[in-house]
A = this chain, B = another copy of it.
C-alpha cells in the first residue's frame, strides 16, 4: 500500500492506493470517526464491491443507497434521492457519505455531502481507473444540467480517498481502457518520466498487472495532489489537468454524451492537442507521433467521430473553459509539459480539426 497527502491546510487528507484495502477495517478505523455512514453506490458496483466495503466500515450505523448506473443519472433529481435517504435515516452533521463507484457516483455523492447540512464528510472509494487517477482526488463535485456537464456543483474535498486497484479487475475492458486516457494525460502534460515509464510498461498496464496498476495509480494521484495543493479552485495551474478535455468535451457533446466514454474522448483530445502544438511549433511532430502511438496502443480512438469539424469547433466554444469570450486551450509544450493558452490562431485550430475530421 502507498499513501500520500493532499496538502490543503485544515482540509488536507490522505490518499491510500493499494490492493485489497477496501475491506480492511484497520484502514477505515483510522480514517473515519463518523458514527453514521451512508454508502452511495450503483447497481453495477454494488454486487461486486459493497460487501467488502461494509466489512471495512465495521461497527457503525451504515445505510446504503444503490443508484442506477450511468452518466444520465448524474442529475439534480438523483441528488434529491440522496438527500431523501439522508433525511429518512435522520443523519446529522456528524454523519459521513462513502462514495463507492466511478466518477458519476463520486461526483454526485460528493456534491450531496457538500450540501447536506451545509457540508458533511465524504470519503471516496473509487472503483474505476478514471475515478482512481482523477475524479476522486481534488474535491470537484457536480451534477449535470441539460445545458451541460458539471454545471451545478461545489468544491468539497474528501476526508480520505481509498483507491483499491483490486476493484479494477472487475471493470469492463472498454471502461478500463478509457481510464488509460487520463493516465496518459498526466504523463504528456506534467511528467516526462511518467510518460517514458508508461511507454515501457503499456502492455503490462493494458493487461492490468496489479503491481504496475498500483504504481500507475499512485503516480497519477501524486501528480494530481501536487497540482490541487497549489491551486485548489483552478485559478491557475489546475487548469492544466484539462489537457485534451476541450477537444474531448466537444466530441462527447457531438455524440450526445452517449456514444463515447469520457476517457475515450480525452484520448482523441490528447492527440488533437498534440497535433495543434506541432502545427504551432510548440512540440515536435515526432513527439506528437509518440503520443498518438500510445493512445492507439491503449486501445483508444485517435481521431474524433465523423461529425464535421465545424460542429466540433462550435461545441468547443460552449465548454465551461471559456473566459471573457476567448477560447482557452491547454496545449503541450512537448512531452511532460503544457500551458493554458488563449492565443492559438483560429486558422491553426480549424486546420487541425479539418485534418482530424478527414482521419476520423
Contact = CB atoms under 8 A, between A and B. Distances in A.
A357 B61 CA distance: 36
B119 A83 contact: no
A118 interface: yes
Contact of A155 (B92, B118, B323): B118
A142 interface: yes
A52 to B, nearest CB: 29
Nearest to A80: B76
A154 B323 contact: no
A233 B120 CA distance: 12
Interface in A101-136: 114-119
A334 B154 CA distance: 41
24 contacts: A76-B76, A76-B79, A76-B80, A83-B145, A83-B152, A84-B145, A87-B148, A88-B147, A92-B320, A92-B322, A92-B323, A93-B320, A114-B154, A115-B115, A115-B152, A115-B153, A115-B154, A116-B151, A117-B153, A118-B150, A118-B153, A118-B155, A119-B155, A154-B154
Interface of A: 76, 79-80, 83-84, 87-88, 92-94, 114-119, 140, 142, 145-148, 150-155, 233, 320, 322-324
